[in-house]
Structure 1
Amino acid sequence: MAKYLLLKHYRGAPASVNDVPMDRWTPEEISDHIQYMNDFAARLEKTGEFVDGQALAPEGTFVRYDGEGRPPVTDGPFAETKDLIAGWMVIDVDSYERAVALAGELSAAPGAGGRPIHEWLELRPFLTAPPTITE
């Protein structure tokens, strides 16, 4: 089994001709979209492939070390940005191919008009061994 992180990006601007930004969806379309994702996660719970997942609030804060013990904090990211991480899901599957297939299914979540949004999902494997440097 291998763990993968699926990052769901909210795009404030359409990513394709079929996209309608989420801020223009009806409440029912938003509910249907969330229900699709919940049903997807429930199905993966039954197969033992779902580890965890969560939606993220659009507001956030950037923090970094400043060397003085008082890390600077700035607002952001902002919902007005074209690309914002909206949520994540961790899956534990038998193969990369299975991870790709599940990401493809999740990409078909309904959007405006109930049509699949065909969103790009970022699929990242968990690091299982420290990287090695070869010369």
Structure 2
Amino acid sequence: MAKYLLLKHYRGAPAPVNDAPMEQWTPEEISAHVQYMRDFAARLKETGEYIDEQAIAPEGAFVRYDGEGRPPVTDGPFAETKDLIAGWMVIDVDSYERAVELAGELSAAPGAGGKPIHEWLELRPFYSEQSCVTE
């Protein structure tokens, strides 16, 4: 099994096919989108492929160590930027091919007008030490 992170970008590049901004969706369209993701996660829980997920608020800050004392904090990210991570899901699957299959399915979540948004999801494997064979 291998763990993968699915990053859900809001209005990222390249833009989804059905690119109406979420703030223009009706409450019913938002509910359908969220329900699709809940149903997707529930199905993966049943197969044992689900680890965790979380939506992320648009507010935030950048923090870095400066070697001095209190680290500097800069406002951001900002919702008006080209790319904002809106949430994530961690899955544990048998293969990269299965991770791609699931990411493609999640990409079909409905948006405005109930049409699949075909959004790009960032698929990132968790870093792991390579197995070594000792004789």
TM-score, shorter chain, exceeding 0.5: yes
Distance in 1, Cα, partners of 2:90 & 2:81 = 25
Instruction: Give the Å deviation of 1:23.
Output: 1.3
Instruction: Give the Å deviation of 1:124.
Output: 0.2
Q: Does 1:123 align with 2:123?
A: yes
Aligned partner letter, 1:29: E
Unaligned runs of 5+ in 1: 131-135
2:17·2:119 contact (CA, 8 Å) conserved in 1? no
Structure-1-length-normalised TM-score:
0.92
Partner of 2:27: 27
Q: Structure 1: which 4+ aligned runs deviate by more than 2 Å? A: none
Q: Does 1:88 align with 2:88?
A: yes
Q: SS at 2:105's partner residue?
A: helix
1:13·1:21 contact (CA, 8 Å) conserved in 2? no
Unaligned runs of 5+ in 2: 131-135
1:36·1:109 contact (CA, 8 Å) conserved in 2? yes
CA 1:16/1:56 → structure 2, altered by over 3 Å: closer, same or farther? closer
Partner of 1:102: 102
Q: How many matched pairs?
A: 130
Partner of 2:8: 8
Instruction: Give the Å deviation of 1:18.
Output: 2.8
Provide the identity percentage: 85
Structure-2-length-normalised TM-score:
0.92
What do residues 55-105 of structure 1 show as CA deviations (whole Å, max 9, x unaligned)? Answer: 000111100001102100011001111210000000000000000000000
Partner of 1:54: 54
Q: SS at 2:101's partner residue?
A: helix
